[in-house]
Structure 1
Amino acid sequence: MNEVLRQDPWMVGPNSLILKQWSPSFSMEMEKVAKVSIWILFPGLDPYLWSDVVLSKMASKVGKPLFADPVSTAKSKLSFARVLVEADVSHDLPTHVNINTPHLGQVSQKIIYEWLPYFCKCCGKLGHTSSTCKWNKPTDTVF
């Protein structure tokens, strides 16, 4: 059990699976979670920038880089690089990252998110948005 819990993140398709140890006080109510593991893509990445160091620096603009997928590491498919990051989805995530390079100058690299979870800024939980949150009461004022 401890080994399974340590092997975070678990991925089911493109989605993160969050595992928690059961306890007698366990509740089915979702707890507040804002940091999730998500795959990000860097499409059309210049071959000059295709290295573990540069991919890690670019990914760190989104969150904590965890690892690049094996295809990206082996440079088998050069149409995009793919990196798993732990990102805080309670904030807006960047769509581009700017990189200063000695040979190319400043480069703007597009970021594509393979999947983003629904996050409610009203209650701080994953799985729905503020517009469907049961805690988001309309402010109807009657005079």
Structure 2
Amino acid sequence: IHNNSLQRSTLVRIPSEFLRRKILDKNIWYVGDSMFHTAQWSSEHSSSTPPLSSIKIWAHLTRVLLDLRYQHGFSLVAGLIGEPKETDDFTLNLVNLILSHVKVEVDLTKPLPSVVEFVRQSGEVVEVLVSYPWLPPKCTHCHELGHVVRNCLTYIPPKAPPASSASVATAFQQKPMKKPVVNMQFVAVKTKVTKASSSSPSNTPVRSPKTVSLPTSPLVPTSLNLDSFTATKTFHPSTESPSDKPQKPSLKR
């Protein structure tokens, strides 16, 4: 395979005589939406694609009478569409008594019929519906058959106009400003309060007593730490109510 990008052509060598003849007979090939024209290479061969005026396509015939379902009968009906070329085993083996397949070479410069009519010797007019499973694409720019507008060599896509600064500023002013959203999470904390018992110490912090310095004496230590002394006094409540007046000392001996 040798590609020529300047002439948009490809030179292919096919050793099989059967495949080479079949490819040349078809003449027009399609891969996706791209068309390929095949021809036998020679020193005088032109790489330019000839104008596409006719092509071989399949046509589906509906309601062909049973007594016309043979090669000569199909040729009579297909001749109303174009030049009949061939049929397939699906049609010859009568797989479907309503639908028939025929290949015809049609003129693409003329509209293709969707219904054909013929008159029998008895004077009966028979209508046959025609549908086409595939048709070559048509360019909407150059109106030529065989390619679409995105593959057209003469089509130049328009450039998008640049956006003006005024329109950008207007669009920026019209755009609402979003307030920042602070995601605050609140956590409920349960505090268990217990009633302090009478014997428990007070919650007020107790300051430790300071050290008191005394005069130097051989019998008294230099410093006296009050923490080492603990004075305890027990009070016994009296059952009798105290007197309002203080008691006088007794003079009796």
Q: Fold-level match, TM-score > 0.5?
A: yes
Q: Does the 8 Å CA contact 2:136/2:145 hold for their aligned counterparts?
A: no
- In structure 2, what is the equivalent of residue 105 of structure 1? 124
For 2:114, the equivalent position in structure 1 comes to 95
Aligned length: 131
Other-structure match for 1:139: none
Shift in Å at residue 45 of structure 1? 2.2
**Higher strand content, 1 or 2:** 1
Structure 2 gap ranges (5+) = 1-13, 156-253
Runs of 4+ in 1 over 6 A off after TM superposition: 10-13
Q: Which amino acid aligns with 1:54?
A: G
The aligned counterpart of 2:183 is none
- Say whether 1:126 aligns with 2:146: yes
> 2:60, 2:153 → 1: CA distance?
30
| TM-aligned CA distance change 1:46 to 1:92, over 3 Å | same
Higher relative contact order (CA 8 A, sep 6+): 1
Note the alpha carbon deviations across 1:85-127, whole angstroms, 9 max, x for none.
1111121011111111135701111111121112459564422
Q: Name 1:138's counterpart in structure 2.
A: none
Cα separation, 2, equivalents of 1:5 and 1:49: 34
- % of aligned pairs identical? 22
Aligned pairs for 1:1-143 (under 5 A) are 4=19, 6-7=21-22, 8-9=25-26, 18-23=37-42, 26-27=46-47, 30-103=49-122, 105-119=124-138, 122=142, 124-128=144-148, 134=154
What TM-score, normalized to structure 2? 0.43
For residues 58-89 of structure 1, what are the alpha-carbon distances to aligned partners after superposition, in whole Å with 9 as ceiling and x for unaligned?
11111111111111012122230100111111
Task: Judge which range, 39-48 or 18-27, deviates more.
Answer: 18-27
Q: Secondary structure at the match of 1:115?
A: coil
| Inter-partner Cα distance in structure 1 for 2:20 and 2:109 | 24
- For the aligned residues, what is the CA RMSD? 3.4
The 1:67–1:21 alpha-carbon spacing in structure 2 relative to 1, beyond 3 Å, is same
**Of the two, which has the highest radius of gyration?**
2
> How many angstroms apart in 1 are the aligned matches of 2:62 and 2:153?
34
5+ residue gaps, structure 1, are 136-143
- The one-letter code of the counterpart of 1:40 is A
- Tell me the amino acid that sits aligned with residue 126 of structure 1: G
Amino acid at match of 1:80: L
Per-residue deviation, 1:44: 2.7
TM score, norm. by length of structure 1: 0.70
